[in-house]
Amino acid sequence: MSPVDIPLFPLSAVLFPGGLLNLRIFEPRYIDLVRDCTRGNSGFGVCLILDGREAGEPAVPAAVGTYARITDFYTLPDGLLGIGAEGYGRFQVTSTRVRDNGLVHGEVRFLDDEPLLPVPPEHGLLATILERLHESSGGPFARSDRASYDDASWVGFRLAEALPLTLPERQELLQLPDPVQRLARLAQHIPRFQRG
């Protein structure tokens, strides 16, 4: 598949496929991004910042990110634009360029969707932990279909965003190509969060 040019939104956050993200939009380059995405019914890439900041000079994005589509617009209490976005497929950045307005664009190759695999029995506890986290938080995934908790990819992505992991740990989990491998890595992190 040939590379595709998409606008990039480098953030101090990792968005996973199926994940939700709320953004406060105030810089002109990102207002332009939102306008262009709305007009073209297109999305943008969310990448973890490797070097730099969210505001000001263009930041250096991670090489693997998640394609996002805007799902909601709202006005924040301070009068600024807020948007809700949802993560879809992952991509790999092959090159970047900065437009005149400071917006980073990337030539990206979309990665294949992960195969639909059941959660292996040895990682069943991860699905249970995730379900309890969703029940106690009452967030958008609290009413998820029970079948979702049998999907290795979905469980791995949701647990990676629910646990208090570091950004480099989240990025590593995003980049792993295999959902069962991701669950195995998450299982290694779980003991850190268990009460003694």
What is the distance between the alpha carbons of residues 65 and 174, in angstroms, rounded to a whole number? 8
pLDDT at 23: 96
Q: Tell me the pLDDT of the chain (196 aa) as tens digits.
A: 688 999 999 999 999 999 999 999 999 999 999 999 999 999 999 999 988 776 677 778 899 999 999 999 999 999 999 999 999 999 999 999 999 988 999 999 999 999 999 999 999 999 999 999 998 888 888 888 888 999 999 999 999 999 999 999 999 999 999 999 999 999 999 888 776 5
b/e per residue, 10-47, with b = 16+ CB within 10 A? bbebbbbbbbbbebebeeebbeebbeebeeeeebbbbb
What is the distance between the alpha carbons of residues 158 and 10, in angstroms, rounded to a whole number? 21
3-state helix, strand, coil in the chain (%, to 5): 35, 30, 30
The fold for domain 4-110 equals 2.30.130
Per DSSP (E only), the strands in 19-120 are 20-25, 44-51, 60-61, 64-75, 81-98, 104-110
What separation in angstroms does the CA of 156 have from each of 5, 26, 38, 117, 175? 28, 32, 30, 11, 12
pLDDT at 65: 98
Helix 124-137 / helix 179-189 crossing angle, nearest 10 deg: 70
pLDDT at 60: 82
pLDDT at 138: 80
pLDDT at 195: 63
The residue extents of the domains of the chain are 4-110, 121-193
Under CATH, which architecture does the 121-193 domain have? Up-down Bundle (1.20)
Q: Is 16 helix (H, G, I), strand (E, B) or coil?
A: coil
What separation in angstroms does the CA of 158 have from each of 14, 81, 141, 152, 161? 12, 27, 9, 10, 5
pLDDT at 143: 83
pLDDT at 51: 84
